[in-house]
Amino acid sequence: MNAQLTTKIVFWLDTLNGQIKMGLPEEYPAPDFHEKIVCNSAHEAELWSEKMRQQEAHKQQMEDAEREEVEGRIRRQQRDHIYHLMTNARNNVNREFLRRHLELYDKRADRTQMHTESYLHAEAYEKGR
């Protein structure tokens, strides 16, 4: 049997674009063009929360792909320019410096790849976050 919630968890489903959002408490009405989803059990709240996380993950992937399309081209141009400078260096000290820089450039972590995940406070407590 599902655990019944004393304080209902509310989600809003945007009927225009299908986005799921956390809502205000049950007594508040949903905004225009939103459907109010009141979760009566913990299981139902976890299902809607998982749908919201999947939606956020998909949105994040789309943003990352868009960012890579622009910034990836710039990073490749910078790397190609450093390689050009290395191959045309005047002496071995400069060449070795630029070679080492390229080596570290390839190993560097991409700081733009930040991933967040939303949880209901009860879920985060259960998962140790």
Q: Please list the pLDDT of the chain residue by residue as tens digits (129 residues).
A: 556 777 788 999 999 999 998 888 888 899 999 999 999 888 888 899 999 999 999 998 898 889 889 988 998 999 999 999 999 999 999 999 999 999 998 888 776 667 777 777 666 555 555
C-alpha torsion 103→107→112→115, nearest 10: 170
Q: Is 85 exposed, middle or buried (0-12, 13-18, 19+ CB in 10 A)?
A: middle
> What is the distance between the alpha carbons of residues 53 and 64, in angstroms, rounded to a whole number?
16
Q: How far is Cα of residue 107 from the mean position of the Cα atoms in its chain? A: 22
Supply the pTM of this predicted model.
0.69
